[in-house]
Structure 1
């Protein structure tokens, strides 16, 4: 990778920018990048047999094939870097240290904001739209979101764009920053020119507390599918478990919900292999891709991983309960309308991990 300070960077110091001399190791890295050549796949096929892992070799791990929506590999970004708006969903301190050159940092608190209605909490569309406008995103822009991996900060950003009715394409970088072998920026960066983002709320992307209350007793039966994305201990309301939120008045899950922990969607820095995801949700969990599916967690960030994953593998109507179990468990008034269950449960076992160093970059000459 080459590291550059963005033209708009300010407050640059030797600690903020990459000023290392072009020593032998640096030169070798640059030569290896140049040797990666025109195609990622071609470079990977030769570099591995030489016992060398090139930037292109690493990037090749994160390419996305098959009929998968939303998730794209580094090759897509390399081809569309000039036309796509790139959003960094990581915390500010990590953004300043290193980022994809020219990317804009997502104001994360704003895009998770909610507003109360008579039916329950819903995304604060005006605040979310204003936040995207503040970083210069327009409704028609094609947007790519990345983070350290494909974790829930990234998927929450994708959901927020969908919720305000974003007209441009919304994509997520498989592999996150780890898979990017192009230009990098460092240091502080002045804000881009704000735009006036006029939202067109996509109310079909979320449901409310009362929408769910009207369907209690039908989930994963005659009515929509309902997926609890929390760890099994929280779903089961296991007494004494550290997974239970001490601020909740009640523990357990919404009646009829089945449990598929959201981490099963992620394998380190990348999305889980699509065939395994189809097995997990359609075969193991027996969810119908043609039916409405609602996902929820304690809050409104982690379950967006399942929201985007299901959409990516072809589920037609996936919605988020933005209020989350925190709202449901602590509702005021007639709690009989908003029951919590522990006696009946369906836990689908998952395997997954989020982030961390990827150590599988070496190409095998035996295939």
Structure 2
């Protein structure tokens, strides 16, 4: 990986040509066969994470190399990693600000004004085309993408497959470059999420005649497995929303990249039986991990995907008459997944390595 922050335009052009050539024979998640005697180069790593086929939102390093001067790059990693090395010109995301929620009579919703203020402080305007990266394509990255969509961002929103380690271009270090804040007026996309009351009105219809409902947590939390470390001790109740099926979000990720799109279509449309033409709602304990499934489903062609921003944390601990907000344990549908997240791009407490 080039670490000279003063690389000239000629080296950038050469790098882009190499990336395009390498990408021609690769697909998402394909194992690299380049190099001799098993040696893997930065170009091999970048080529391995190129994205081909009809996939939305997710792009590879070659795409970013070709469009670097046309997009605003956002780094969703922690600040220390950002300071050590980053895509040249990237701006560090204040992640906690993009997870804020506002209490309403119907339940928690994305805090559009606070999120918009944080985005505006990065110098991002509503019409800017944006690409987000992390250490992988884990849920920190997808939460940033969701937050932008939630506030009605007009420009394109993309995430970088392979994360920072897949980038083979110019790198910056040290404190962030100065940016000029802008006044970002949000225009919330309310169709991007649902509330507690929206769900309560539809209990008994999920995955039958009504919307699909996907629980993206680890199976032990979904099943309320006695004694499991996956059970949040702060929850008054354990289990899942009635009618929800369980597809753990980590199945969306293979190491630092997106799981093969064909496998994802099989997982969600085939194994889980979710209709891509109908409304699908995803949730987890918080409002971070489920955004991986939110973006994955949209990327592979699902028409209407929404996030329950309050999450199971809100549902399990709701005040008042809980008969309207039941928790189920007797009926369970768990779809097995195999995935791993590299680079600590995780929003919740689940720990795995890639």
TM-score by length of 2: 0.90
Q: How far apart are the structure 2 equivalents of 1:354 and 1:306?
A: 14
Match of 2:34 among 26, 29, 48: 48
Match of 2:242 among 247, 251, 255: 255
Change (3 A) 1:210 1:34: closer
Match of 2:70 among 55, 61, 83: 83
Matched, 1:216 2:195: no
Gapped regions of structure 2 (runs ≥ 5): 26-31, 345-354
Name the count of aligned residue pairs.
333
The answer to whether the Cα contact below 8 Å between 1:33 and 1:54 also exists between their aligned partners in 2 is no
Q: How does 1:121-270 map to 2 (within 5 A)?
A: 121-270=108-257
Change (3 A) 1:4 1:349: same
Change (3 A) 1:165 1:59: same
Q: How far apart are the structure 2 equivalents of 1:37 and 1:202?
A: 35
TM-score by length of 1: 0.87
Matched, 1:99 2:86: yes
Partner of 1:117: 104
CA displacement at 1:204 relative to structure 2: 0.1
Partner of 2:321: 334
Q: How far apart are the structure 2 equivalents of 1:39 and 1:231?
A: 40
Q: How far apart are the structure 2 equivalents of 1:143 and 1:37?
A: 19
Secondary structure, in 3 states, of the residue corresponding to 1:39? helix
Partner of 2:268: 281
Q: How far apart are the structure 1 equivalents of 2:73 and 2:14?
A: 26
Partner of 1:108: 95
C-alpha offsets along residues 282-304 of structure 1, whole Å, 9 cap, x if unaligned? 00000000000000000000000
The answer to whether the Cα contact below 8 Å between 1:36 and 1:55 also exists between their aligned partners in 2 is no
Change (3 A) 1:76 1:35: closer
Partner of 1:38: 17
Which protein is bigger by CA-based radius of gyration?
Answer: 1
Partner of 2:350: none
Q: How far apart are the structure 2 equivalents of 1:275 and 1:240?
A: 36
C-alpha offsets along residues 119-163 of structure 1, whole Å, 9 cap, x if unaligned? 000000000000000000000000000000000000000000000
CA displacement at 1:50 relative to structure 2: 3.9
C-alpha RMSD over aligned residues = 2.1
The answer to whether the Cα contact below 8 Å between 2:15 and 2:169 also exists between their aligned partners in 1 is no
Q: How far apart are the structure 2 equivalents of 1:233 and 1:306?
A: 18
CA displacement at 1:239 relative to structure 2: 1.1
Q: How far apart are the structure 1 equivalents of 2:34 and 2:106?
A: 57
Q: How far apart are the structure 2 equivalents of 1:225 and 1:40?
A: 39
Secondary structure, in 3 states, of the residue corresponding to 1:87? strand
CA displacement at 1:305 relative to structure 2: 0.1
